[in-house]
Amino acid sequence: MFNKKLEVFFIALVVVALLYLANNIYMSNQFKNNDIPDSYKTRLKNKETEVLNQMQKHYGLKLNIPMIVTDKFKGRLYGLTSYKNGEIKIYLNKKVMQESMDYVVESVIAHEYAHALMFKLGKRAHKKDGHSIEWQETCVKLGGRDCQQYVDQQEIVMSKMPFQ
């Protein structure tokens, strides 16, 4: 009798695990194959507005720079600011948003707008100027929480832990 109960328990456990796995696969495919959720759009827009307000407060500039969410990035690049023919655009990586949306909102948007501002102010003459001390100070003034050159994967992992 005990063996039968144990067998039923394990079968139930396997069924629950398979359902959980199927749901995760479905949700990942939904995110991958559709536009980002409205809640993400709202968070991105709110942070963008906050950053632009800080830019106007600290630098007296009101810039209209497109912020484009794309799934065309290779690898785990979180964002990129491009400057081509006098036009500045900010790109955010959709592929990393599902697992790291908090990081994108809290760190990446201000990071990329700091680059855009440096371009606009003509303060980026050399490749190595991209993450200068002046850029870091600008990033902080724009509301960036983590103004480093590269994504801190350890910070992202630790922010997901139930304890802190």
- pLDDT tens per residue, the chain (164 residues)? 778 888 888 899 899 998 888 887 776 666 677 788 899 999 999 999 999 999 999 999 988 999 999 988 888 789 999 988 889 999 999 988 888 899 999 999 999 999 999 999 888 655 666 788 899 999 999 998 878 766 554 444 444 434 44
Output the six-digit token pair for 120. 């606009």
Tell me the domain boundaries of the chain: 1-34, 36-159
Q: What is the pLDDT of residue 141?
A: 95
Q: Which fold has domain 36-159?
A: Zincin-like (3.30.2010)
- Which pTM was predicted? 0.75
Q: What is the pLDDT of residue 36?
A: 87
Q: How many residues does the chain have?
A: 164
Q: In the 8-state DSSP scheme, what is residue 129?
A: G
Tell which residue, 155, 56, 53, 60, has the closest CA to residue 106.
155
d(CA 53, CA 70): 25
Q: What is the pLDDT of residue 147?
A: 82
Q: What is the pLDDT of residue 39?
A: 92
Three-state secondary structure readout of 138-160: HHHHCCCCCCCCCCCHHHHHHHC
